Structure formats: C-alpha cells, structure tokens
A and B are shown apart, each in its own frame.
Chain A
Amino acid sequence: MNGRRIRVLRFIRPVLAALALAAMGGLAVRILFFPSGSPAAGEAAGGWSEAAGFPRVKPGLPEERHFERMAENDAFLLLADRTTAHFRLVDKRSGITWRSYPDPAHWEAEGVSETWKRHLASPILFDYVDADHYKSLPVTGSLMASGGVLEHFARTDRGFAVTFSFPELGLKIPAEVSLYGRYVETRIHDEGIAEEGPNLLLNVKLYPLFGAEPSLGQEGYLFIPDGSGALIRFEQDRAMPQLVYNESVYGNDLSFFHEQTNRQRVLMPVYGLKSGDRAFVAIITEGEAYAHVFAAPSGAVGRFNWVTAEWQYRKRFFQSVGRHTGEGFYAYGREPFAASGRATRYYPLLPGESDYAGMAAVYRTYLMEELGVRPQVPEPGDVPLFVDVLGADNEKGWFGDRYLKVTTWEEAGRIIRAIREAGAGRIRVNAIGWQQGGYSDYGGHFPADARLGGSRGLKAFIADAHALGIPVFLGADYTLNANGKDGFWWRRDGLRNPAGAVPEKRDDRDREPARYVSALFYRETLLSDLPDYEALGADGIYFENGIGQQASTDYNPRYRSTREEAIAVQVELLRRTKARLGSAVGHNPNFYAVPQLDHVHLLADGHSHDVFAAEEVPFAQIVLHGLRTYTLGYSNARDEWRDGFLRSIEYGAYPAYLLGAASADDLRRSYGDWPPGLDYRNWLETIRREVREAAEALGDVTDRFITGHHTPAPGVKVTEYGDARRIIVNYNPTDVQLDGRVIPAKDFVVVKGGE
C-alpha cells in the first residue's frame, strides 16, 4: 500500500508543474495573439459589416445629381445624398447654395495627402484612441478613411437621420440634420453612440467643412469667438500657415489637461465664416460646454478655410504616480462626457448682412428669443460710470500675510462724493476687498473686515451711496478657498480631477495655495451668505472670477457634478442672488450667465494676438449693446490712454475705474494685480473729461442695438446704432477725410441720424 501511494505522489508534482506550464502558455498565447480581449470579438467585428449589409462609403465628394430633396420651407431647401450623408442647403432668398463638403470647383487643386483628402471630404471627422494600451496615441478617423458605412439613413419630417458606423473600429455615431425656420441644425444623438471594442471616442467634428472656401483673393474671414471676437482673414501667403485655433467653449475644464495657448477664454458658443457675399454664423445650442471651436485657416489643414464645432467626449487627465518627483502619465477617462444634447445651428446670412455685425445680430436675436434675455439698460441720458473701490489686499509678511489697508468705508464715501462732484451723474459702485482678511484671503467673506470699518462702516457707506442714488455691489469669489473658513477643508470639499488631485491657484511661491471649491459646496456657502448681504443693504453681488467664468467637472465623491451641472449650479446661484438682493453683476462672464446678470463688467476687448488672427472685432459688444450695460478694462489700467478711450467709444462701452485712497506704490508687493495708478485724487480730472466725452457719444443710444460696424479706412472705425447714430473713430495720428467729413486725429465724431 505505502509503495503505491509513494509512486502516485511522485507523479503528482510533475503533473502539477505541467498543468501550471500549460496554463501560463495559454495565457501567453492569449495575450500575444488576442490583445483586444477574447478571440470572439474579432469574429463579431468581422461579421458585423456582413450582417449589416451596408456598403462602404466611397471616398470622394458626392455627385450633385444624387441629392434628394429632404425638407423645405419658405426660405430654404434641404437636399441630401444617401450615399455620403452630405447635404446641401439652398437659400431661396439669395440663391446661394451651402454645402456640407468642400466646393467641388476647388477640390481638384487640393494638395494634401490621400488620407487627409478623405478626411476632408467626409461628413464626420473624429479622434479615437485604443484604451487598452495606455501608451497609445489618438488616431484621426473619418467616414471615408476608416471604412465607414451609413446605417439607417432615414428621412425625418425636418430632414434626415443617419448612423455613421465604423465596423473595423467598433464605433457607431448617430446624427441628424433638420431644417428649421432660418437655420439648419446638426445634432449628434449621444444615446445611440456605441463603442464596442477597445476604441474610445475622443472628439467628433460633424460636417466640419460646412461652407468651407479656399483663399483665392476674395474678401473673407473666419470668425472665432476669441475674446470679444477675432477674424482670421483669408490669405494666400500666410505666416506660419500650420497654426490652427482650437479652444474650449466657456474656458478650460480644470480637471483635464489643456494646452497652454495663452488665449482669451471663449465666452460665446458662436463661430462663423464669410467669403465674398456669402456668410453664415453657427451657434452651438446644446452641449456647448463640451465643445471646442476649431478653426483651420487655409494652409493649416488643406487649402480650404473651415471652422467647426469639435465635440469632446473624453479628455486626458494627468495621473500622478510620484508626489515628490511629479512623475505620472496621461490617461483617458472611461466614461464619456454626458451632455444633455449636442446640437449646432447654422444660420446662413443674406448678402446685405453678411459680416460679423450681421452674425452678432443673429446671436442677439437667439439670446432674446430663445434664452429669454430682456433688455435691461438705463434710459438715454448720462452714461453710467462704474467705480470699483478697493478695500484691502494682502502681501507677504514675516509670519503670514500682512493686511494692506487701501480704503476705509469712510474714505470710500469721500471718493464717491468727489466723483459725483466731478460731474458723473450716474455712478455704480463695486466694492472689492471688503471681505474678512482682505482681497487675496480667499474664503470666508463675512463679517466685513473691521480694519476698514466693519459691517457698520460698510453699511453706513452703502446707505450714503443710496442717498446719492448710487447702487453698491459687493465683489466676491466663492470658487477659491485658502484659509479653510466657511467650513471648507480642501481634502474633503475641494474640486477633484479624475486622478483625485485638487487644482490649486498659486499667487506666490511661498504662499499656501488656494484650492478650488466644489460647485455644490460653494452653492451652500453662497446661499447661507445671502442674508448677510441683505443685512448690509447691498444691491447685489459682483461675481468676480469664479462664478460665470469657470466651470469644471468634479470627481469629488461627495459633490460629483458634470460640467453642465456645475454651470446649472452657477446659473441657479445667479438667479437666486438676483431674486434675493435685486441684482447680479458678472466679470467677463461666459454667456450662459448673461440672462441672469444685470451688468457685464470688464468684458474682453481684444483678441489673443495670435499670428493668424488679423483683427479684433467687438462681436460680444455688438451682441450686448442694448441688452446689458458693459465695460471694458479699467481706464486707469489702460496701456494706452487715448487709444483705450477711443476703443471704449467704438465698442459702446461705459467707463470703469478701479480706485482707492492709497497709492499703488503701497501695493507694490501685494498678491493682487492692481492698476499702476490707483489714487483717486489723481484721476478726478480725467474722470470728468471721460464721462463728458462718453456721454456725448453714447448717452443717447444706451438702449439701442449696434446694427453695423466696419472699417472704411485704415485706422478708422464706424459703429452704427440703427438710423439714430453713427460714431466714427479715428485712431490715426493724422486727420482723416471721410465722406466729406474731417475726423480729427485720435478723436471721434458723432453723426446723428438723418445727417
């Protein structure tokens, strides 16, 4: 018996070893030869297209004769091609045909590579990445270059719907094109997106080459929402032609990686194109928080100029692996951004209004009719003067931050009285730096700091201002916290990116950084602070920096929110502030906040000086004039006094000053960035002059829309307010003759209606 057992035992070990080896071998075989998962997946993919039975889309532009009528109304006719899913829009009023693909007349001369020719001819262009290998790079795909097929092309009552399917990649993207009254809308149905297989969608451009035109010497430009608006002119011999514009609407999401481009934030989800007499403007109406505006001037990607919305599905974030070394890698999230919808509207413009002023008028109408923005502007008369009074800031001290007192509330009262005596009839005051600890002590606003006079002093100041008919708004930023007040603990309540890191803002290398606060947390903080604002008698809150400027996806488990939800929180807070206190003021806000705001402060007034952007245009100002009051940068912070003043006249903006009772020299080492000339005593004379000149130009048109804006001669700009008024501004150092009028150097002329 024993002998037999021993013999069995002797066999067990080698048998086990053999089994183990076999298992390892099997695993190795599996990993090496079937990297994308089970061998079954490959089969399914291959069998997919067979099962579907749809033919691959042939590369190349569609033939005009294959287009069928899909929808029609009194102004437009929508035609589409079943084999490529491209469409044509015929404007019956002007006879202009808009194509969703490059103009065939100029297509032959296109000199890009074959792959890119297919990309440019496709109705859908996208980037995807293989998620199973973390080091894989994004790949660009398109309908015609990635073996795409059109599934379920179906007519709808307003147009057509189609599903773009990519069997080899395992991706499906359903889209829809619909014709409405004055626009055609392209939409992606997120709920139907399928990602079967290892490939994940990163971004999608739907009908990117809509309206694209090459640069053949015609007058034309791409309009991009850079700052207040910028034009990329059609040029044939461009400096650094490879540059493109690709910026996120409403600013960057702090939780994800973004390239450093040092550009102004995109305030409006609008873009456009003009070529000769043809022009269209596009408004991203749904899901704009997850869109980028992508503009490629001629020479960057092919010879056509094109601009489109790039829908984001996933972005990279930095996963740190070593705290002290800063090492890490970039990864993509598994879940795509869940937008409430993704839709873009294209509004073709009539030849008479085919410029950026016409585009702005369309966007303004959209804001009024669809977002319910009602005009909220003062009656004609004096122009309002906006005075920001700085209470206190901080600088680095020996054992902590030192409090720099700039203006007590008593002094602030003297300031507004002095300004009233200088001739400013309508004044509106934003008080900043009033909070506990000073301007740069982020977090914990109440009680108002006692060193300036405390709540009592502030209340008295507000009462004095009310007696003079001056409303006072208190400036506050609820999105940052550095001192842990308001019950904020950054490890628990901070905004988190997918890697779990909390973004921070550093004023100074030696200072504790301020952390970004989760949206749902600052919602509670602000709501609980509202009664305190009311008790002070404030007329509203001036939302500096955070709310209205910056919305991010939050992965904090306690306060999970998507970007759209964060925006909704901000909109709700603005609405409730307005309901409780009466008014809300924004600071260069994204336009989702405009419906709730009464005044837009420090609106962007230029572009980002990119090499390709030739010109800045006051698009945002044209949209807002007559709807809301707005100012440009502080007058006492202008780089050029006279030119900056002329620009505010040209843009229809009201003057704004940031003043205090101390010299800017005392704030030399402060954390905040203050104008170099701060002492109000030095500016009274200037204020008197500026208010008078601004009233002469803009006083009568406070409630009018800007209907036109153009450049009749180099350095001369004309802004038109309907028939009521034209303002001609001359930036040249010499006088200019225009239509028999002499415009003096560095000056402006007001032409009243009927002249």
Chain B
Amino acid sequence: MKKGKKTAMFRFVRAFALQLSLLGAFAALWPGRVAASGLPYETYYRDGFGQTVKTQAAYLPAGLIKLDFNGPQDLFVDEKDHIYVADTGNNRIVHLDRDGTFVREIVVPESPLSRPSGVFVDGNGDIYVADTGNARIVRLNAEGRLVKAFGRPASAYIPDSFKYEPVRVVVDKRGFLFVTSLGAYQGLVQLDPDGGFVGFFGPNKAPFTLFDAFKRLVYTREMYAREPKKRPPAVTSADIDRDGFIYTVTREATRDQIKRLNMAGVDQLPGKGDFHHLQPVRSYGEILHPRSDSPSPQLVDLTVDDDGNVTVVDAVHDVVSQYDRNGNLLFFWGTEMLTAAAKTGVVRAPAAIDQNSAGDLLILDGTNNLIHVLRRSEFGSLVHRANALTQAGRYEESEPLWEEVHRLNERYTPALIGLAKAAYKKERFDRAQELFHRAGVVGGYSESFWQNRLRWFQRHFGLAMNGLAGAALLAFAIRKVRRRRRTGRTGAAERTPAAIRPGNAGSGVSVAAQLKHAFTVLRHPADGFYAIRHEGKAGAAGSLVLFVLAMAAFAFIQAKTAFVFNPWQRLGVELPPLLVQFAGIWIGWVVSNYLTGSLFRGEGRFRDVLYGSAYALFPLVLIGVPKTVLSHALTLNEAALFRFLDTVMMVWIALLFIRLVQGVHNYAFSEAVAVTAASLLALAVLVAMLFILLGLGLELVQFLKSIYQEVIVR
C-alpha cells in the first residue's frame, strides 16, 4: 500500500524529533462516540503490558459539599460517616454529618489551634488534630475538649536539626500515633499513647541511579559535596486499615509511592501483584496517556477500604487511581481536557481523599473549598465484590461474579485473572492456563502449565520411560558401531577435497566443507578464524547459508520462545523490523570492524570479516533453537536452567566475535578485545550518521513535495 509505506517511513524518522507538520493543523474536538451521558472524565484500566482500555465508570459524580472553608487541607470520615474537615485557614476543625450539613466547628478555646492540617478520629470518637502551627498533635475527646497535647518528642535518636512539623496523623488501635511530619525523610514519627518517641516508621529508599554512582566515582570531594543530598523523599500522607496495616503515600517518589507496612515497617506490596513478572519495579499513580515528557504523578493522599483497596489522588494530572490489596490496578480515571469550566467530579489540585461506609469517595478540593462526592457505580461494586473474594482466596465464589464482569466488559483483564484463578482452584488446569495466557499473567500461567505438564507425564509415564530407555540403548549402540568402524579403518587418510564448483569464491572448498568448518570454528575458534583468512576454509555460499540460518534462528527465538520466559511476545512480535535491525547491525559490524581492523593494521580482508561474522553467529542456531524448543516444556521453577542456556549462548557468541577479530586480523587476544571495542564504537557512530542522513533526506523530499503541492493548488 503506497500510503502504508509512507506511514512506515514517517514513523521511522519520527524517533529523531523532526516534526513534520503540514499546514497549521487545528485538531478538532472529537465528541465521544459511545459516552452520550457526558461524564466529565473517562475511566480506564491498564494491564501489566501497559495496554490501556476504557471501562465503564467505577465511580460517578454524586454532588458537591460546599462550606465556608478557607484552604482546607485534610478530611476524615469516621465510622458513623460523619465528615471532619481540617479547615486550615480558619484554624478549626469542621464537623459535618453524612449529608454534608454543618454540625459544629471545633476550635479548642483552652488552647487554640493554629493552621491544623490533619485530622483523625479513632474508634472511641476521640479527635486527633495535627496542629501544624503549634508543632504538636492534640487529642480531643468527642466533645472537643483537650485531653492531651503531644509536642515535639524528646529523644536522643532525633537529630537536633530535625524540623518537627506535623501535618497528618493516624492512630492505631493501641493508641500509638504515626505522625507525618513535613519534609521528614526519616519516615513517620511513631509515638506511644503518652507521647514518648518510639521510632521512625516506614521510611522510603533514597534514589541512587547509575549516573549518581558515576558521579561519586569521578567527582572530587568538593564537587560531590555540592551535589544535592541524596535523601529519600518524605512520606506525604498515611492511612490505617482495620487490620492495623499502615499505608503510606509519598509525593516525590517515582516508584513504590504506595506502601503497605506491617507492624515491623516492612512493605507488603512488592512482588505481590499479578503482573510482577512484567513489572518488577512498581510505579503507582497512573497517567492517562503517558508520554516520554510527562511529569511523574504526585500522589498526595490515599484512602483504604475494608477490603484493602487503596485509592490515591494525583495532584499533577488530576487522576484518581485505585489498586487492590496486592497492588493490582483496578481502575483509574481522569480527563486530559483542561477546561475553563469546572465540573462535578473533576477535582483540580486535590488535597485529600477519604471514603465512607457506603463506598463513596470524598475528595477535598483545597483551592475551591469544596468536597466532591463520588459514588460507586454498579460496575465498580461488582468488581469490588468479585475481587474481594478472589484476594481472600474464595475463588469458586468469585467465579459467577467475574463471569458477569466479563460479560459487561470483555476487555477487563482482572475478570480474566479471577476466572483463571477459579479454574485453577477447580483443577481445570487447561482452562486456567488458557485464561492466564490471555490475561498475560506469567506466574499463574507457569503454575497451570506445571500442573498440566505433571498430568501429561503421569499419563504418559510409561511411554516416556520406554522412549528414554530406547534412546539410551540406541545411543549406546551407535557409539559401539562407530568405535568398531573407526578401529576398522586403517590410516586416517584425508579425504580428497570435493570437486571444484564453479562460482566458488576462495580456494574452491565445497559448500559442505564450508559448513563443516563451522563446527571446527566452535571447537577451535582462533585457529578456525585464522583458517578462514589464510586457508580459505570459508566461502560465500557457506557463509550465506550460515547467516540465513542464524537470522532464522534469531527470528525463531524472538517469536517462539515460550510465554513463560518472554511474556512480551504475547502482544505480537513484529518480525520484519527486528530482522531488519538484526541484519543491519550485523552488516554495520562487519563494515566497522573491517574499517577499524584495517586502521589497526589487521590482516583481514573484507570478505574474511564477512564470512567470519557469519560463522560467529553459529551458537544462535546450535544453542538458540534447542533452547527455544525447550522453553516450551519449562516452567518458572526451571528458569535458572533457561537463563543459564541463554547466558552460555550470549557469552559464547561474544567470545567468538572476539576470536574472530583475533583470528582474521591476526592479533593477540588483548589487542583483539581493544579492536572489538573500537569497532563497536565505530558502529555506533555509523548508525547515528546514517539516521541523521536519512532524516534529513526525507525532510528534504517532504519539503520539495509540499512546495510542488502548494504551487499546484495556487
């Protein structure tokens, strides 16, 4: 398709930030085709592969609560669904009932509040206020009278430079306080019910990248001292669930923003999600259309329900994301349209979030002094019910619910995962394996496959054992025969070389011999490559065959490695671009190695490097193909074996390439390593130059074409 090719080339060039914009484009607003109800936001789900699908709304706008707040910073919903708002600018706590009607305001006359930024109400009705302006936590009884004030804790473990600015507080069942202090990178301040310092709780990890390591190595002490301190980001807010787990959320972190901490302060979330094989490092807080230059989400608050579902709000993108107790994403919603019109349900710059017993979310808008109420939709309730059962291990009960979810939304992957787990529990391992594969869950697929494999072995045990025994006998017999034949032959005379074939480059060695030379190269690489240069043991035909075999093996590895070891293959493998890249890099290597070699006084001719590079790829065929075939019979339990084969293959190929340089150019080993490195560098430069030229060339063609078109139109 002519148009198709044009689009492909455009995509090719786009990677180099050459915006080809035609006559001032004016993108039009696209009216939502299906959503005639005009919700101001769209709800999505994203799976482990990053595939985003739209779903029905999980929460629907259910109204606004408006009162005379002044820059409120926190809100809390107690067990009776009464709402407490930390009305920071007015130095008070406002108490509303479940409909948002004003009940009372709490100022503590005996010891007035100053800029309270956090509020928490425990099971007895006692109100804890993070009285930021007075650097203390106050505990009030249900009537609002002061019971105790917790000032800055005194302890030898707290550095003098520590600034105590409590902004949030949560209290557990025993009465221990976990105070979020502004900018405290040490974590939450844990106090006992009397105000004594227990310790710092749940700190984040300091981010340390490779670049930082490089700087540490290379910079002088003075320069490094001037670098910004590598401190962990401070916890922004915390919540506690009914089991006593503390959930923290951190605004400035870029990974593991949400933590679920047990009593010991250990994060329970890593490694628990269904997609943890695809996403070893989790980043919470979804963005609607992630681009390379999108700012990271800034999660400012979270709320946890009785099932452990965590809902977080992102202040930068105004997106609300919801995860279940194991960190699996359930929904996220938001809108990209920055409108001049304010909408119910779209909170700009959210300050806090909480939920009531009916499952309604309440999001505090600190700038407009509003609380947006979102109620859970039918679909949202259905998913929550089904997922609660699945996470609790009650898989069979969850099955009919997940069936209904799947009927309503055929793209919603958690439904497939729920059904797969139910099938696994019911021991329908075939169905489980198929569903896990569809959902893209490696762990579950591997487990189901293990079960299926076990069953297969159990069924075919007899046949398998007979086959093995037969193969062993056969191998033994062949070896016996071969040994007899070898001793029978007298004088290991060399075979006469095959007839010279017309068109055979080099010294007239047959194709078969050339191919056999590949094995020689494997066994004695340096000699083998030397033979290619000086004894003409390789030829065009043989190298071509080997290269084609290697490409085919590469394609086979890319496309056919089992799902367990290459989950991304489930999205579909685009072979042509991969093969083109493979061939391109290979040819580039050959060219740059020849050029570099000739610079460094190597003896190799171009065709020697060419042939040799084809031979060096042989382990791809020898190990790669069997490894790929084997991968279909392995599970994650045997991953070590697979990785081992993989490593052997890659290392062998690397070594062969170095031996190639050594043998063909006749270097010592150390020289060969240096020249290989130089060749790779040359290759990089070559590739960059090629891309630039291509891009500029296309741009020029576009330019000429548009001039032509403009002239024609005028």
Contact = CB atoms under 8 A, between A and B. Distances in A.
Interface of A: 227, 237-240, 243, 252, 254, 259-265, 318, 320, 323-324, 326, 328, 397-401, 483-484, 491-492, 497, 499-507, 510-513, 516, 545, 549, 588, 602-611, 632-634, 636-644, 658, 663-665, 668-669, 672-679, 682
A398 B54 contact: no
Given A633-B34, A676-B55, A501 B23 contact: yes
B379 interface: yes
A632 B7 contact: no
A287 B101 CA distance: 46
Interface stretch (B161-169, B235-243, B337-345): B337-345
B368 A502 contact: no
29 contacts: A240-B368, A243-B342, A262-B335, A262-B337, A263-B38, A265-B31, A399-B5, A400-B4, A491-B23, A503-B27, A505-B27, A506-B27, A507-B30, A510-B10, A516-B28, A545-B33, A602-B36, A604-B38, A611-B64, A611-B342, A633-B37, A637-B35, A639-B57, A668-B51, A668-B53, A676-B56, A676-B408, A676-B412, A677-B410
Interface string B33-60: 1111111100000000001011111001
Contacts, number: 208
B410 A398 contact: no
B30 A665 contact: no
B377 A497 contact: no
A489 B5 CA distance: 19
Contacts of A237: 66
B55 to A, nearest CB: 6
The 10 lowest CB-CB distance pairs between A and B, nearest first, are: A400-B4, A320-B24, A676-B409, A633-B36, A501-B24, A239-B66, A664-B410, A639-B57, A261-B341, A606-B37
Could you say which of B1, B26, B61 has the most chain A C-beta atoms within 10 Å of its C-beta? Answer: B26
A605 B40 contact: no
B225 interface: no
Contact of B26 (A262, A318, A674): A318
Contacts of A637: 34-35, 56
Nearest to B43: A639
Given A237-B66, A262-B40, A505 B28 contact: yes
Contact of A639 (B23, B60, B335): B60
B345 to A, nearest CB: 6
Given A549-B31, A602-B36, A676-B54, A399 B343 contact: no
B23 A502 contact: yes
B40 A503 contact: no
B3 A640 contact: no
Given A399-B5, A676-B409, A605 B343 contact: no
A498 to B, nearest CB: 11
Contacts of A642: 378
Interface string B327-341: 000000001011111
Interface in B48-106: 51, 53-57, 60-61, 64, 66
B460 interface: no
Chain B CB within 10 A, most for which of A483, A633, A634: A633
A610 B34 CA distance: 20
A639 B39 contact: yes
Contacts of B19: 324
Residue among B344, B574, B709 facing the most chain A CB atoms (10 A cut-off): B344
A675 B35 CA distance: 9
Place the interface of chain B in its size category: 35 or more
Which interface residue of A399, A501, A633 has the most chain B CB atoms within 10 A? A399
Given A398-B577, A399-B8, A668-B51, 7 more contacts: A238-B66, A259-B339, A323-B23, A588-B36, A609-B346, A644-B37, A676-B408
B683 to A, nearest CB: 26
Contact of B411 (A492, A606, A634, A676): A676
Given A243-B342, A609-B38, A640-B378, A254 B26 contact: yes
A634 B25 CA distance: 32
A502 B410 CA distance: 38
B407 interface: yes
B28 A254 contact: yes
A109 B48 CA distance: 61
B1 A400 contact: yes
B178 to A, nearest CB: 34
A326 B23 CA distance: 10
Contact of A262 (B1, B27, B343): B343
Nearest to B59: A639
Given A400-B3, A608-B40, A505 B30 contact: yes
A504 B27 CA distance: 5
B21 interface: yes
Given A262-B343, A639-B60, A676-B408, A633 B35 contact: yes
B34 A634 contact: yes
Nearest to A491: B713
Given A400-B8, A673-B54, A665 B35 contact: no
Contacts of B378: 640-643
B590 interface: no
Nearest to B37: A606
Contact of A609 (B34, B61, B368, B411): B61
B322 to A, nearest CB: 16
B576 interface: yes
A608 B343 contact: yes
Given A505-B30, A668-B411, A639 B37 contact: yes
Nearest to B343: A609
A606 B38 contact: yes
Nearest to A601: B36
B379 A640 contact: yes
Contact of A399 (B4, B30, B34, B368): B4
Interface in B342-382: 342-346, 368, 370, 377-379
Contacts of A499: 24
Nearest to B65: A239
A136 B643 CA distance: 69
A504 B38 contact: no
Contacts of A400: 1, 3-5, 7-8
Nearest to B34: A637
A263 B38 CA distance: 8
